[in-house]
């Protein structure tokens, strides 16, 4: 980077660190276990909510998972309306359709059921409903001036951690550009981590979402903005994922493993929403944009490569994670390498390849340019890379 860019970048990262300290320590009231979803529905009814808009996708409706939630709402006498128009990478028009249904049905709270996409859409719907209905004015950081309608969340995957984050991402339907919404007010008031809603996940989805949670935890732990609380959350997530992801992958009906993975995703979400992420996510975002690679799988492929690049500056931090997993190593360097090797071994156990079949040599310069730009603008990573270094790293992921 030029001197000017380094100065500008330092100022941005300093602001990022300050903002991370300003984020509230509040976490959602969280119900955990086989009856968690029903307990959350009862708590929503007791909160004084009159009618809730359930925001989800049609797949979960067809699988019968949404029916279980609406039955729980009926049991406690809480009126509800279901909006199932959310699709992967939700768009502003989907948010606006949900907002129109909320207004039409007279709902005064929002309940997200699903993965990251329904939760992102629900957050923006709730914020827009109390802030004039103009989604565009809410884009960016700290733009939610009035408190959103109460937001509740029931994740059906263990990966995004969105039930514990202050952010949402929605796409423009014409340009496909990502619109980011970041505000402490977007943190859900309550969440339910119910492993019985996750037992039907296919193994490949379990693997990808689990590695997504691991990436959140690791990138948060090595970020320059990490603090004692985020480190504790991240360590807990890492330990739970290594101990339980292979079991959840091999036996999706194992409720103990599913519960542990749901907790890991939640803790990782609490951590990274306060520290941000890094190059793994920057690269994964471009893989998604270029090839529609599932986000968790993209993170998993990039994670060990980025950690090896970061080792020059992140060795002590990675060594701590090695100690957490009781990995052998004569010194910090050996321990850090052992941790990266363990990430590769975990990937292999859950069937995620080392390389990306869709990646093309001709695309690498553009992918690197976008990833480097994203990281330099947004992420407090331990070591920054040049365009050439990023291109070299991407070539390690060529099939």
Which of 178, 197, 216 is the last residue in one of the domains? 197
Read off the pLDDT band of 176 (50, 70, 90). Answer: low
Q: Give the pLDDT confidence of 30-71 residue by residue, as tens digits.
A: 999 999 999 999 999 999 999 999 999 999 999 999 999 999
Structurally, how many domains does the chain consist of?
A: 2
Which of 197, 223, 258 is the last residue in one of the domains? 197
88: domain range?
Answer: 24-197
Positive or negative, the CA dihedral 317, 303, 344, 232 is positive
* pLDDT at 241 exceeding the cut of 50: yes
180 neighbors 200 (Cβ within 8 angstroms): no
CATH number at residue 136: 3.40.50.1970
Residues 116 and 243 in one domain: no
115 neighbors 146 (Cβ within 8 angstroms): no
Q: What's the residue count for the chain?
A: 399
Residue 13 within a domain:
no
| Identity of the highest mean pLDDT range in 167-171, 189-193, 373-377 | 189-193
Which segments of the chain does DSSP mark as H helices, in order? 3-22, 36-46, 58-63, 65-75, 92-105, 116-129, 203-222, 228-250, 255-275, 279-291, 295-324, 332-349, 364-378, 387-395
140 neighbors 131 (Cβ within 8 angstroms): no
Residue 150 within a domain:
yes
Q: Give the pLDDT confidence of 358-368 residue by residue, as tens digits.
A: 999 999 999 99
At residue 19, the pLDDT reads 52
Residues 185 and 236 in one domain: no
Q: Residue for token digits 């689990």?
A: 210
Residue 123 within a domain:
yes
CATH number at residue 272: 1.20.1090.10
At residue 5, the pLDDT reads 38
């Amino acid at each position: 980077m030029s001197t000017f860019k380094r100065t500008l970048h330092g100022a941005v990262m300093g602001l990022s660190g300050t903002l991370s300290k300003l984020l509230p320590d509040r976490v959602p009231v969280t119900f955990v276990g086989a009856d968690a979803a029903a307990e959350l529905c009862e708590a929503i009814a007791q909160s004084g909510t009159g009618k809730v808009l359930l925001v989800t996708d049609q797949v979960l409706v067809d699988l019968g998972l949404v029916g279980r939630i609406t039955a729980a709402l009926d049991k406690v006498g809480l009126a509800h309306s279901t909006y199932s128009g959310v699709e992967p990478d939700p768009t502003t028009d989907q948010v606006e359709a949900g907002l129109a249904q909320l207004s039409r049905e007279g709902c005064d709270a929002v309940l997200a059921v699903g993965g990251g996409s329904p939760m992102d859409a629900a957050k923006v719907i709730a914020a827009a409903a109390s802030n004039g209905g103009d989604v565009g004015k809410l884009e960016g950081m700290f733009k939610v001036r009035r408190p959103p309608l109460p937001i509740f969340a029931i994740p059906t995957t263990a990966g995004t951690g969105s039930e514990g984050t202050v952010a949402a991402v929605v796409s423009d339907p014409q340009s496909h550009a990502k619109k980011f919404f970041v505000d402490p007010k977007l943190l859900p008031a309550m969440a339910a981590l119910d492993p019985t809603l996750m037992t039907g996940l296919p193994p490949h989805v379990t693997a990808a979402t689990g590695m997504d949670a691991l990436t959140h935890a690791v990138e948060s732990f090595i970020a320059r903005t990490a603090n004692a609380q985020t480190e504790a959350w991240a360590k807990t997530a890492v330990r739970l994922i290594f101990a339980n992801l292979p079991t959840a992958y091999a036996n999706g009906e194992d409720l103990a493993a599913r519960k542990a993975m749901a907790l890991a995703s939640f803790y990782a979400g609490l951590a990274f929403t306060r520290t941000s992420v890094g190059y793994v996510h920057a690269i994964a975002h471009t893989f998604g944009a270029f090839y529609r690679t599932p986000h968790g799988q993209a993170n998993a492929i990039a994670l060990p490569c980025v950690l090896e690049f970061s080792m020059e500056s992140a060795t002590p931090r990675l060594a701590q994670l090695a100690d957490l997993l009781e990995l052998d190593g004569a010194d910090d360097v050996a321990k850090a390498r052992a941790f990266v090797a363990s990430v590769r071994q975990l990937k292999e156990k859950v069937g995620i390849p080392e390389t990306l079949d869709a990646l093309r040599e001709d695309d690498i310069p553009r992918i690197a340019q976008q990833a480097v730009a994203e990281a330099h603008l947004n992420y407090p990573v331990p070591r920054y890379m040049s365009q050439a270094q990023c291109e070299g790293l991407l070539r390690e992921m060529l099939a």
